[in-house]
Each structure stands twice: as C-alpha cells, then as structure tokens.
Amino acid sequence: MSDIILHHYPASPFGEKVRRILGYKGIAWRSVTIPRMLPKPDVIPLTGGYRKTPILQIGADVFLDTASISRELERRFPSPTLFPAGTQTTAAVLAAWADKILFFDVVGVVFGTLGATVPAEFAADRMKFSDGTMDPMRYAADLPHLRAQLRAHLFWLEHGFSDGRPFLLGAAPAYPDFSVYAFTWMLVARVPPETAPLADMPQLQAWMKRLEALGHGTPTDLTPKDALAIAAAATPAPVVMNHPETVAGIPVGANVIVAADDYGKDPVTGVLLGVSAQRIVIRRIDPVVGEVNLHFPRAGFRLLPAA
C-alpha cells in the first residue's frame, strides 16, 4: 500500500484531529510539515490552490478537509472503527457541529484572549483567510460573550458523561471525539490555565486524557519535495463512486471549480470525475506533480462549472 502522507503543522487543531485518528487506528504515516500561513509553494501543486490544513496524500490521490480524510482512513483501516454500530448519524452530525461551531467558539476565545499579542502577519493572514471574521481585536472586544457561548456548548458535552460513558457516544471513541478533542486541545494549549474554560469541567478533562493516551500512531518525517516526487511518480487510483449523482448542467468530464463555502474559499479548477451526495472528485494536471485526483466532501463545498 502507498504511504499515508499527512501535510500539517504541529499547532493545527484540524491536524490534531487527524493525528489522533491515526493514533487510534495504529497507523504508520509520513509527516510533512507545512507553513501555517501563505505562501505554501509545496502544497499548492498538490491541491491546486486549496490552502487549508491538513491534507492527506496517498500517492497521486489528495484528500482535502478532515471529513474526506477521515472517511478515507476509515475505508482503508476499518478497525477500530470511527463509526461504532448505530452511531453513523449522530457521529456525522456531532462532528459537523464541532468542526463548524465549536471550532469558531474556540478560535474566538483563543484569539480574543491573545488580542493584540497575535503576531501581525499571522492576524493579517487569518483575516484574509476568513473574509475578516477571524479578527483578534473584534474577538477581544466581545470576549465575555464568546467565553459564555463556549462554556454553554462545552457543558452540553460535560453533562453527557453523567451516565459514566468514557467517550462521547459510548464505550469506544467515535468520529466526533476526535473533532471535539482537537478544539479542547487547542484551547488548553493556547489559553492561560487560570482562565481556561475547562477548569470546572472534570469529565471533559478526564475524557481528554483518554484521547491523549491514544497517541499519534507512528509518524516518520518526509520532506515536502519528496512528497511532491511521490505524487509525480504515482498514478491516481481509479474512482469508484457509489450512488453517483448528476448535478444539473455539470456532466462528468466537465471543467469545474470546487471551493469551500465557509472560509478559505480559494477555488480549485479541474475535470469532474464524479460527484455523489457525499463526495466530489476532480482531476488536475499540474506542472510539478502531473495528474492528481482531488477528493472533497460534498458537504461544505460549492461545485460550479468553470467558465
């Protein structure tokens, strides 16, 4: 099997979500450290412009967004599962809530707490990335409200452990444990302990320790250039699309644009290889890496015909 290559940087919470999944599944993987802000000259040849972190590369197949990364890891390494029997719907919905709502709760409290001490270059990058939403000074001005929202949401989770369950959905870790953990991990790492919103949430603290104990699997470093060389030497895997859909006016084979619909909306252009209710796959031909297939989740991504 081709190497599992994760492009990420240590402080990335979405990167931490995937690192813990790799740990839970006991996977050996290659670790490529990428810049935490633009420019990302060794990432863009693989992604065609998508700049979010992390990305997963397997040969000449590139998985964008932790939803598509996690589904691919689950497909290749089904045991232990991220979706224990009976939890499919709850797992997907709770993880989406964490990725969209809890993430911004935590970003608001972390940036708002750091305020003017956020390095100017980093603040400018994230402002542009988020169309002005991730503004440390605006968050600082609204900090009491942001902290209250975060605490309200975290207590939903804290109270869920009252029946003695060790993980969010029961006896074993499931997909949303990894999403939620990523953001509590970011919070604990970035907010001074005396103001940490988790201070009076003992169940969440104990649960974090259980997640932490899963480790990160077995990473070995890989240089960005070697990762690009692996993509260049590989051929994308054949696309198997279960339950394909026809998007009005966009047949398979058409030139298309795919872009996130929330933030980091940098468009990626390619040829549509398949679309379903859950996935979008496009083919790009890049001067550095040649033919690569890009795999996006359908939820959260806009698909448009290219002019």
Q: Contact letters (x/-) for ligand GSH, 261-290, by CB under 6 A?
A: ---x--------------------------
Contact call for residue 295 and ligand GSH (CB under 6 A): no
Residue 22, strand partner residues: none
The number of helix segments (H) and strand segments (E) in the chain equals 11, 10
The span from the CA of 27 to the CA of 245, in Å, is 33
Residue 219, strand partner residues: 29
Residue 268, strand partner residues: 258
**Stretches 9-17, 19-27, 276-284, 286-294: which one binds ligand GSH (CB under 6 A)?**
9-17
Nearer to ligand GSH, 21 or 201 (CB): 21
The beta strand positions in 19-141, using DSSP E, are 28-33, 55-58, 61-64
* Among 3, 27, 33, 37, contact with ligand GSH (rule: CB under 6 A): 37
54 and 63 in contact (C-beta within 8 Å)?
no
Give least dist CB 235 to ligand GSH, A: 25
Q: Contact letters (x/-) for ligand GSH, 207-246, by CB under 6 A?
A: ----------------------------------------
Helix axes 13-25, 175-190, angle to 10 degrees: 130
Q: Contact letters (x/-) for ligand GSH, 58-97, by CB under 6 A?
A: -------xxx------------------------------
Fill in the DSSP letter of residue 298.
S
